[in-house]
Structure 1
């Protein structure tokens, strides 16, 4: 039984790593997904990203995130590979 529990935990960790490895579309993701996917972005800043998107329309590039207070070049560069912009 102990080995079974270990296997379940290991599979869960591997699955969550695989899911989080997928880039996040900043034009469609909700605040929960954004906060989870972007290192250095918590719930409040994720809400600010969504509010900015709703007010100004879809992001044209990942660089547009720099318009949001608290998102600077260092945060953006450290997360660039996790972010995606599409118009879908």
Structure 2
């Protein structure tokens, strides 16, 4: 095997390892949020919301206050209207929530 082929093989193995590590991290977050069950952001209480990554007691209360003032979320993306939930936080929450 040439050096180039060995290097290419090593890079492929490293890339596959990185992808599986990312998938494992997402699976762990989902498990922490209650297994395969999605959290309904229109009916969840503070105790359920704090199980989500990046959501502590204050953020959970902001979500509840927003829902009380504005009614149910029409789309999961509307969660970004809550102070403190931007695109990066939403990207972590999106696979774990539903309406």
Q: Scaled by the length of structure 2, what TM-score is found?
A: 0.64
**Aligned mate of 2:48, from 26, 33, 41:** 33
Instruction: Please give the per-residue CA displacement for 1:12-61, whole angstroms capped at 9, x wherever unaligned.
Output: xxxxx48712100000000110011x200100110110110011000001
Q: Is it true that 1:47 corresponds to 2:61 in the alignment?
A: yes
Change (3 A) 1:26 1:72: same
Structure 1, unaligned stretches of length 5 or more? 1-16
Change (3 A) 1:19 1:70: closer
Change (3 A) 1:63 1:30: same
After TM superposition, give the deviation of residue 78 of structure 1 in Å.
1.3
Structure 2, unaligned stretches of length 5 or more? 1-30
Q: Tell me the matched-pair count.
A: 68
Higher relative contact order (CA 8 A, sep 6+): 1
Q: CA RMSD in A?
A: 1.5
Q: Scaled by the length of structure 1, what TM-score is found?
A: 0.72
Distance 1:39 1:19 in 2: 8
Change (3 A) 1:70 1:19: closer
Q: After TM superposition, which residue ranges in structure 1, 4 or more long, deviate above 4 angstroms? A: none
